[in-house]
Amino acid sequence: MTEQTGVSAQDIVERVWLSIAERRLRPGVQLKEGQLAAIFDVSRARVRQALAALERDGLVTIIPNRGAFVCQPSVEEARDVFFVRRAVERCIVDRLCKSISKANVTRLRTHVAKERTANAQNITTDIIKLSGGFHLLLAEVASSDFLFATMRDLISRSSLITAVYRNTNRFNCGPDEHADIVEAIARGDPETATKLMEHHLEHVETELDLSEIRDQPHDLKSALA
């Protein structure tokens, strides 16, 4: 089979992730290799690479002899993820307040500026990516491979949980709150920065309706079209 030029495994991963975040691709949907290969005009081998990456990110479950399915996080898992996030992000913020460089403060401010632009222009794709990306960038500039890897997993799981349980039409967790956190870090004020982060994550969690999943899975082709 001749593959469509430029469609990589990462491209497929991002399309699936975005479809989940935009609530077009629902938990429980089976991601059939043949159907994905046809949709993206790529080989099954490339699809398998993408599915393996999605499984590592906690967005897909691969069941032997059955196939790959979008994960269905439970209410208990959702609460656990946000509980762990609060602990990890407190650690990250505290570390940054003690050691962040001016260059990295600039990186964070630049990121927040991009979030504001995406919000002003209502670019859904950028809003979703930049919102989670802010928290991942905090972990990156903290210069800890462990914290970065932990946050990458938590952000992926949070994106799925938010897609499933979000009770509003907002796709992001707010550049204004992000900006306040950055300025507290820049001042080297761990007490304020930690309180702001805790409030921020509580705000995100309160926008979730942690009850049973109400929506039925959508058709794969229409979700990714």
Q: In this predicted model, what pLDDT tens digit does every residue of 134-168 receive, in sequence order? A: 999 999 999 999 999 999 888 888 878 877 787 76
49 with 132, same domain?
A: no
State the CB neighbour count (10 A cutoff) for residue 103. Answer: 8
Starting at the earlier edge strand, list the strands of the sheet with 60-63. Answer: 30-31, 67-70, 60-63
Residues 6+ apart with CB under 8 A from 80: none
99 with 184, same domain?
A: yes
**The predicted structure's pLDDT at residue 185:** 98
Higher pLDDT, 63 or 59: 63
**The predicted structure's pLDDT at residue 168:** 61
Higher pLDDT, 38 or 210: 38
**What pLDDT, in 10s, does the model give residues 41-57?**
999 999 999 999 999 87
13 with 63, same domain?
A: yes
**The predicted structure's pLDDT at residue 6:** 74
90 with 132, same domain?
A: yes
64 with 87, same domain?
A: no
End-to-end CA distance of the chain: 21
**What pLDDT, in 10s, does the model give residues 64-122?**
999 999 988 888 988 999 999 999 999 999 999 999 999 999 999 999 999 999 999 98
Q: How far apart are CA 183 and CA 178, in angstroms?
A: 9
51 with 93, same domain?
A: no
16 with 108, same domain?
A: no
68 with 81, same domain?
A: no
On average, the pLDDT of the chain sits at 87
Q: How far apart are CA 133 and CA 136, in angstroms?
A: 5
State the CB neighbour count (10 A cutoff) for residue 215. Answer: 10
* Domain that residue 109 falls in: 75-206
86 with 178, same domain?
A: yes
Q: Contact at 8 Å (CB) between 31 and 220?
A: yes
81 with 44, same domain?
A: no
Residue 1 pLDDT > 70: no
**The predicted structure's pLDDT at residue 20:** 79
200 with 92, same domain?
A: yes
* For range 123-130, the mean pLDDT: 80
Handedness of CA 129, 132, 135, 141 (dihedral sign): negative
CATH number of the CATH domain containing 103: 1.20.120.530
175 with 79, same domain?
A: yes
